[in-house]
Amino acid sequence: MANMASDPLTMPTAMSATSAASATRLGNPELQLSVIVPVKDEEQAIAAFIARLAPILDALFADGAWEVLFIDDGSEDATMAAILAAHGRDGRIRALSLSRNFGKEAALSAGLDHASGKAVIPMDVDLQDPPEVIGQMLDRWREGYEVVYGVRRNRSTDSLPKRLTADLYYRAHNYLSDDKIPEHAGDFRLLDRSVVEVIRRMPERNRFMKGLFAWSGFRQAAVEYDRVPRAVGKTKFRYWKLWTLAIDGITSASTMPLRIWSYVGVMIALLALVYAIYLTIRTTLFGIDVPGYTSMMVATLFLGGVQLISLGVLGEYVGRILVETKQRPIYVIRQKVGIDADRSEESR
Ligand code: UDP
Ligand code: MG
């Protein structure tokens, strides 16, 4: 702990909560920065990524105290071979290989669990997020910010529908949830070790990372950057996957979708009461009016629809409760490359 006290980044408030955890985590106290990179079928991207990133990191850290940790998320191509070749050339390039495809969020969790830098930066391998921004992130971090997130100055590289839905999603999420996600911020951000430890201790299986980052708080700063088109390969996120991710995000951050049905129910019941009174009075005054097929059908179908929607929403939450109660690991590691056994003791 002695050398930590002299570290300008070691904020007393941040450390007190996590000092015990960090002490065991910092197997390599010299290591300043870990860049964690989830990869799925990215064989062509690995070499280009390292060729661009390594000189930048070397320029930023004169002592070379950085690591790049790839998390191979069940790739079916030669991604792992490319990583092994890179590891052979430079031992600071390390990797975890998961036993199958667990998804980017789980891969990021694996990365956070095995990164040992004082700061951790999750990054995509496709070079859409320019590594040059890392320098600015480190500057803000050294000023004392524990989270420095990258904000996309423009999203012109995304298709219009993607931009619109992303916009809508951020609005919906931030309206429903108390933990606000910064708009146009991706997973590209710098996290101080104290934040990493908080995220690692979150027990949930649902790893919607942006939501977890938002929940954890801390002092946050933004740096702007331009997001460029993918260098090679194509996006792994099709619309259905994004939709699922969006639901994961909202259900993990807010119970509003569950509670809204009580109010909808009360409103419909009130309307029905008014209508019942009207019908009773009308029938008393003017006698029985048999034709009523239309109103019957409309009421039945409308209520049926509302009930199915509310059941569906309930189902989304119940399904997630089931997943959480099973307590299965978030990911399973098949192979570790360049990571000492003691550093990854706590893998889940
Ligand atoms: N990725 C992953 N597991 C998956 C899907 C994607 O680890 O199941 C990785 C992918 O290799 C890339 C990053 O997540 O490094 C971002 O993916 P992509 O560029 O396809 O997403 P987009 O930029 O289109 O949102
Ligand atoms: Mg991408």
Kindly give the confidence (pLDDT) of every residue in the chain, 348 residues in length, as a single tens digit, with 9 standing for 90 and above. 334 444 444 443 433 334 433 433 444 557 889 999 999 988 888 988 999 999 999 888 878 788 999 999 989 988 999 999 988 888 889 999 999 999 898 999 999 999 988 999 999 998 888 898 999 999 999 998 999 988 887 767 677 777 788 888 888 888 887 777 777 777 889 999 999 999 988 888 877 888 888 888 888 888 888 877 776 777 777 778 788 888 888 888 788 888 888 888 888 888 888 888 888 888 888 877 677 777 787 788 888 888 888 888 888 888 888 888 888 888 999 888 888 755 544 444
Strand ordering across the sheet containing 33-39: 220-225, 147-152, 185-192, 119-122, 33-39, 66-72, 93-98, 333-337
Kindly give the distance from the C-alpha atom of residue 311 to the centroid of ligand 2, in angstroms, as a whole number: 35
Starting from the CA of residue 72, give the closest ligand: 1
Kindly give the distance from the C-alpha atom of residue 308 to the centroid of ligand 1, in angstroms, as a whole number: 34
Q: What is the pLDDT of residue 28?
A: 52
Kindly give the distance from the C-alpha atom of residue 39 to the centroid of ligand 2, in angstroms, as a whole number: 10
CA distance 325 to 345: 24
Q: Is 41 left (phi over 0), alpha (psi -120 to 50) or beta?
A: left
DSSP code of 92? Answer: T
Kindly give the distance from the C-alpha atom of residue 236 to the centroid of ligand 1, in angstroms, as a whole number: 5
Q: What is the pLDDT of residue 27?
A: 46
Ligand 1 contacts (CB < 6 A) are 38-40, 42, 73, 101, 103-104, 107, 124-126, 128, 235-237
- β-partners of residue 68 are 35, 93
With residues binned 3-state (H G I as helix, E B as strand, rest as coil), the percentages for the chain, rounded to 5, are 55, 15, 35
CA distance 11 to 16: 9
Neighbours of 98 (CB within 10 A): 23
Q: Is 174 buried (19+), middle (13-18) or exposed (0-12) by CB count in 10 A?
A: middle
In contact, 72 and 95? CB cutoff 8 Å? yes
Q: What is the pLDDT of residue 123?
A: 92
Tell me the two tokens of residue 248: 């994961």
Q: Which residues of 292-317 are buried (b: 16+ CB within 10 A; e: fewer)?
A: eeeeeeeeeeeeeeeeeebeebeeee
Output the residue whose Cα is nearest ligand 1's atom 2: 104
Task: Indicate the helix (H) or strand (E) that contains 79.
Answer: helix 79-89
Number of residues assigned to the chain: 348
Neighbours of 62 (CB within 10 A): 7
Starting from the CA of residue 207, give the closest ligand: 1
Question: Which ligand 1 atom is at minimum distance from the Cα of 125?
Answer: 15
Neighbours of 159 (CB within 10 A): 10
CA distance 94 to 80: 11
Tell me the two tokens of residue 80: 């792992």
Q: What is the pLDDT of residue 37?
A: 95
Closest by Cα among 298, 305, 314, 193 to 258: 314
Strand pairing class (185-192; 147-152)? antiparallel
